[in-house]
Amino acid sequence: MLRRTMKSLSLALAIVLLVTASPAMAALLVPGSNVAPTATGAPPAVALATVGPVNFVSVDTPPSFSGTLTSKVYNNYVGNPFGAGRLTFTYQMTNNGPDSLERLVTVNFTGFQTDVNFNGAGAVPVLVDRSANGKIVGWDYSGSPGVPAGGSSALLVVHTNALAFQNTTASIINGSVAAVASLGPIPEPASLGLLGLAGMTLIRRRSR
């Protein structure tokens, strides 16, 4: 009996180690945490939608940086650990200078699973962090040279379990800030329906 129990425990431990060591989920980013991004493969040849390259300029005078941001969304991106048809968002910055770029803030990932990666040449973030409510995914270059003037970031990749996307606004930061058009996920229709149902239930309870 003891041997069977030990074998069962050993098998369970082996399964746990196999799952946690899987490279597909090596950069799973949960709300309130940060991770170092991992390398992933190149995106599919055709994107579902593209915004950019869109010009941005910092709000200070004279501007401390300017450049472009290109954001795209794909489905069936090889390497997305959340299943077929789930969306992957990519972001890539170029920097015209004069200062380097230290941070890119992307939205709105509330309620979704995220796995953060990079692909290709260019500056790679030191860490990627996520706000406690899950909304913001921030690509952080602090403690590194950042994205230098005349350079570009690597392709910044966030795999999600989202099924729908929308136009959003990203922020680029280095002391000053610039806002720029971007892409991000939106709640599934089923989720919106559940939220509406919950709201109606709450209203009914209050009216009693």
Domain membership of residue 116 (yes or no) is: yes
Rounded to whole angstroms, the Cα distance separating 68 from 202 reads: 45
Whole-number pLDDT of residue 186:
93
CATH of residue 113: 2.60.40
Mean pLDDT (the chain) is 83
Task: Check whether the bond before 108 is cis (ω within 30° of 0).
Answer: yes
pLDDT higher than 70, residue 11: no
Domain membership of residue 4 (yes or no) is: no
Number of domains in the chain: 1
pLDDT higher than 70, residue 9: no
Domain membership of residue 11 (yes or no) is: no
Q: Which residues form the domain of 134?
A: 23-203
Q: What is the DSSP letter of 24?
A: G
pLDDT higher than 90, residue 207: no
- Residue 181 CB partners (closer than 8 Å, separation 6+): 51, 52, 54, 69, 71, 167, 168, 169, 170
pLDDT band of residue 22 (cuts 50, 70, 90) is: very low
